[in-house]
Structure 1
Amino acid sequence: MESSIYPQSFRELNILIRISQDIISTLEFEKVLQIISDGMSELLEIETAAIYVLEEQNELLLGATTPALPPDMPVALRRAFLADHPHIQRAINEAKPVLIADTVKTALTQAEQSIVAMRNLKSILYFPFIQEEEVLGILILGTCNKSRTYSEHEIALGQTIANQFSVAIQNTRLHEDLKNHKENLEKLVQEKTHDLNAAIEELKTANSELFDKNEIILSQNNELKATLQHLKDTQSQLFQAEKMAYLGTLTSGVTHEIKNPLNFIMGSYLGLEKHFKTYPANYYQEVSVLLDSILNGVERITAIVNSLNQFNQKHHGLNELCSVHSILDNCLLMLSNKLSDGINIRKEYVQQDCLTTGNMANLGHAFINILTNAIQAMESEGQITIKTRVLDAGEKICIEISDTGKGISSENLGRITEPFFTTKEPGKGTGLGLAISYRIIEEHQGTLSFESELGKGTLVRIELPLEKGLRPE
């Protein structure tokens, strides 16, 4: 019995992994539907499949079929009204699969009979696509040669996968909405820029005419120059504001679209790991290599997505009691693999353990970004000094992190907390690290400042409020 179960399980696993990889590789709505249709047909070994997508409240539109549609398929069959398809309506209302085991023995509506006749279907299995109580569509699987029954495992597997694929369908729709928003925003920016350029050209023409006037007009001309410069500054500010607003929307949408498939993959990974642990050790050892590869990929993508979200989102939950020294020590431990033998860490902590209220993970993220910059600035040798001291009669703690690296020029020092600004070589920095740290410290009612000189290193100063009633004497 085991020899028949295990190959089937491995077959299902391989198909699911391939489908997931194909879905992740595209954000085109029609391609995603076709991948799901082909994949579900293969997974359950069924001759034909179709996906109808809910367009209106009671109307479904054909999105994909397996195999391809016949050339003579009536246009009417490309749309389906719920009132004409009670079995589809039942699957959607009950949010679970519905089986017609034998189409000959089952009472069907005229619309259902038309679909049966087109493919000569003997049995039909309906799976609803539902995501967060929103009906997205229906998957129809059918057999052509003979009627068929399904095991509980097959139906449960099919519905579980249909539920997960609902996320992919919803994500592709979000991608299309985001794409349309981007195009509309770009068009709006172009229109505004064109109008402003036209206004500037008109002002330039007026300016050249005013130069030919007398001393009074010359004075007015100087005022016009100031107005023109103000318009240029306003144009730049408007463009920057719209660019950053679009960037925030794009970042939020992209990370959302990435995280949902990641959650699906992670959920499938945990389920598969739990499932295969019940198998004999030799089977589990063979599949664990593949499972570890999936987990490593998910963790790497999650780290990138979380970095983008740190910049784009406000953080809540700033009510933890945080030990500053413990957080710093944990950060150094996490970065130990990046420290070469030539880099020395010197700690000069105030005697008392200083506590602040906030978010331990976010503060750790801010300190790691600053320490990472210090490590990278020294390349392979130097010293990082971390000092803490109490200020304002116990009201604040000051953390100073200094390095003996190459330093930062005065013209760049004022820009290092700007998003995407970096002095590192291409591919070695995103320009988000200090921007994220600045926002985190600001959310903790603290301040972040910098002192640096080329060739002499950099000092980063962080000041945070100490927790009342727990300040050092």
Structure 2
Amino acid sequence: MGQHHNTALSTEEQLKKQIVALHKINNITGFLPLNIAEMLPVIKKEMEDIFADFECNINVFAGKSNCCTLEEGSCKALRDQLPMLAEQDQSCPCYTGKVCQKTYLAHICVPLTAGTEVLGVITLKSMRRQGLSRDLLELLLAIANQVAATIQRSQLLNHLAQEKRNLENANNEITQLNTELMSTIKELKRTQMQLIYSERLAAAGRLAANLTHEINNPIGIILSRLEWLLLEAPESELPEEVVRDLQVIKKHTDRIAHITRGLLSFSRRTKNETSLVNLEKLIKETVAWLERQFSRKDIMLALNLNPLPQVMGNRDQLEQVLVNILTNAKDALPKGGQITIAAKHDSEQKLIQIDVADTGTGIPEEIMNTIFDPFFSTKDKELGTGLGLPISLTIMKEHEGFLRMASTPGEGSCFSMILPCAPMHEEGERNG
């Protein structure tokens, strides 16, 4: 009786141990997130506590293998998707393989399946020839089902996580494409505005050319008669008031003549004689004769020049552009400040860039698109005709260059003259 009691106690303790181990496996497979690589070794250890005389290995096809390497279709348990005991069928390569054959005498394979999908296999191997009781075999099948469900759930979660990453990447790509699209649209609008503006300039140029020739002749006659009247005034004993009126008329007639000369230049009807121009010398000479005039306004001119190659162009016209830009910069500094003239050479693009930056009032955003329009000016009528920048832009285009503007209201503006370098053969003539 005592011996039977001891056997019963031993069986009861073993059952408790199995229940505890099974409970642990259930807890392990119930945690999220699932990490199969970390989970399988823990399940392996718990199974070896349940099946004490067996070594447990778990082979998962989509993860790290903890069993002998199995070739697809070579394992009978996997082919049939049914448990296989080595005592019944010796065809399983895990048992007949060279390593296992020399070491293990008993071998049990249980496939890990979810529906029709085969996820892997659990193997129990023992160095003693033995089998499993019906209860332990059912427990093994229950554990295999739990592990298979957990692996399937892990794969589903990994798939969802990958889909989420794919969606995030696609969203990032869409965001990037939207950004690029908005930038492209903005660039297209800017190009469209430039085309519209160029057409407006061309139309204004044609109008200016016709208008100038129509005005020049009567203006010339009026000026010559006014000068004759002023010369004859002392002999004719004209009243002083009449002489003053004649002088006022002449002053404003001269102004009209000045405007028509600007229109003639703007309409591109003037003859342009070109030659090699030393821009560094041109900048220094221009600054030298403007410096005193600017200093009276408490404006300092600063130079930052690098050695520059020559350009092919009309020196007087390029000087006119520089003077126009410097004059505008001066007018933007009513309380004084600094104007910096910097020049650099881009050897790759074969371009020269002259930047004229001031610390003045800047250009209001609402008029940035109109400052190059003919006759547009923010100055008093006595100070500007509104032709300085349009004429400068026309000159730069005739020199195959362009004029660029950047401004921040309240902080200042920067106008850039960008010109192509002289062709190599002309550089060679200059150097020779």
Both proteins in one fold, TM over 0.5: no
Q: Which has the larger radius of gyration?
A: 2
> TM-score, structure 1 length as denominator?
0.39
